[in-house]
Amino acid sequence: MVGSKQVWNKGVKVASSAGSTSKPSTFKAPIPISLPVAQNGSITFSNLVSQIGNVDQVAYQRVQDALANNPAPRAINNDVHVGPNTKIDVTGGLPRIQEILSRTQKVFSGFTQVSNFSMLIYNAKDEPWAEAEWVSFATSRKYLQGQIRGQKNTIAGNCQTTITPGVFTGSISNCRGADSSAIQNSDDAILTFGQSDEGNPGDSFLNKGGVVGHEYVHAVQAAQWIGNPKTYCTESTNSPDCFRSHYVNNTVPCWLNEGSANSIGPMAALSTLAEYQTFHKNQLPYNQGPTTVTDYSEASLRDFLYKQVIGDRGCISNNAVYSLGYSVGALTAEILTAIGGPQSVMAIYAKSAEGLNFPAAFAAVYGISWENASAVIAKALAAEYLTFGPPPR
């Protein structure tokens, strides 16, 4: 959102294209829905353009249906570390944060989820404490030294200005960043959550806890690689190839990584359709401000979605491209949720963990080629953007 840094540990320097060759493996990730998803709901690829005005309502309801109908997932260990001088920005504090985590976990019941989800919550005054606290409990759990060092950079980065994901500058000041990262050589994940201590009453994404849902969706994305032998290593064999977040960032486009988190996360967190529709209208369309990447026309939106180069030498290293995942990507993920439900979006990650590239994973989930689907989505998004008014200058 404007003034908020929602970054996710990139961890890698490998590029691949959205059309690269798939390499299926013997690893199978649990998928609790039948594929391809049925095209028999109120919104399909066939009627998407004419129904674009109803997408937010249908998508929100599909998330609520998942909450109502999914079985309760396995209990996930959760430990919370809050700075001694830190006031939690989320209204309702830790009980509300735990409620949102439980809701988001249930949305994805049946998919692999992390074994332990740690939260480190701190303000600028407590940032040195946060680094020391992380080192202490990470060392006690025998996490790899490379990640212990790297996560300290992220903890500080949540209180700095982001240049590109994982690269920061400036002094430790107003902490507004949040970052979810897999823990190497384990089935764990961590959320580092910078706090401003101002409450931010005008930022519903923050004070209503959408950011918590957002970051836990990232944890579930990377969790689809849990159990895949290639994601585990030791201190002596450690490399980016052993990092679950590496595979997310190098098989799935940035627009979906941030977009699914920034749509499904708030849909799981926000209590009413009215709250979500306010978020959808006021914070999704242009939440990163002016852009030179797209003019929001059908052609430029199609280029953004279909031609995005995956990985550090592509969308991750280009902040102008990456940041549109929070807006264009979120609206696209909202469309996919309306068509197939939130589980369909996570199924893309599960199929990717099995070795499929993005176009192949998309086709396996939705029964339509990504080439054809992206053309329909771009046309629908262009029509939706006309209702939002002109972009910021």
Here the tokens at position 123 are 């303000």
- If we measure between CA atoms, which residue out of 246, 265, 251, 389 comes closest to residue 326? 265
N residues, the chain: 393
Q: Which regions of the chain does DSSP assign to beta strands (E)?
A: 5-7, 15-17, 77-82, 116-122, 161-164, 167-169, 177-182, 188-194, 309-311
**Cβ neighbour number for residue 292 with a 10 Å cutoff:** 7
| Residue listed under structure tokens 């992220």 | 154
Residues near 323 by beta carbon (within 8 Å), at least 6 away in sequence: 288, 291
Straight-line distance from the first to the last Cα atom of the chain, in angstroms, rounded to the nearest whole number: 17
Largest CA distance in the chain: 56
Helices (H), ranges, 270-341: 273-283, 298-306, 319-322, 328-340
Cα(302)–Cα(180) distance, rounded to whole angstroms? 29
Question: For strand 309-311 and strand 116-122, is the pairing parallel, antiparallel, or unpaired?
Answer: unpaired
pTM: 0.91
Q: Find the helix or strand (DSSP H, E) in which 131 lies.
A: helix 127-140
Q: pLDDT 10s per residue in the chain (393 long)?
A: 333 444 434 333 333 333 334 555 689 999 999 999 999 999 999 999 999 999 999 999 999 999 999 999 888 888 999 999 999 999 999 999 999 999 999 999 999 999 999 999 999 999 999 999 999 999 999 999 988 998 999 999 999 887 777 788 888 988 888 999 999 889 999 999 999 876 665 677 888 999 999 999 999 999 999 999 888 888 888 777 788 988 999 999 999 999 999 999 999 999 999 999 999 998 899 987 778 899 999 999 999 999 999 987 789 889 899 999 999 999 999 999 999 999 999 999 999 999 999 999 999 999 999 999 999 999 999 999 999 988 888
Residues near 329 by beta carbon (within 8 Å), at least 6 away in sequence: 253, 254, 255, 256, 257, 258, 259, 260, 262
Return the SS3 of 273.
Answer: helix
CA 299, chain centre distance (Å): 25
Here the tokens at position 104 are 């988001």
| Residue listed under structure tokens 């019941």 | 109
Q: What are phi and psi of 46, to 5 degrees?
A: -70, -35
Question: For residue 296, which amino acid is it?
Answer: Y
Return the SS3 of 60.
Answer: helix
Cα(315)–Cα(313) distance, rounded to whole angstroms? 7
Return the SS3 of 105.
Answer: helix
| Residue listed under structure tokens 């006031």 | 87
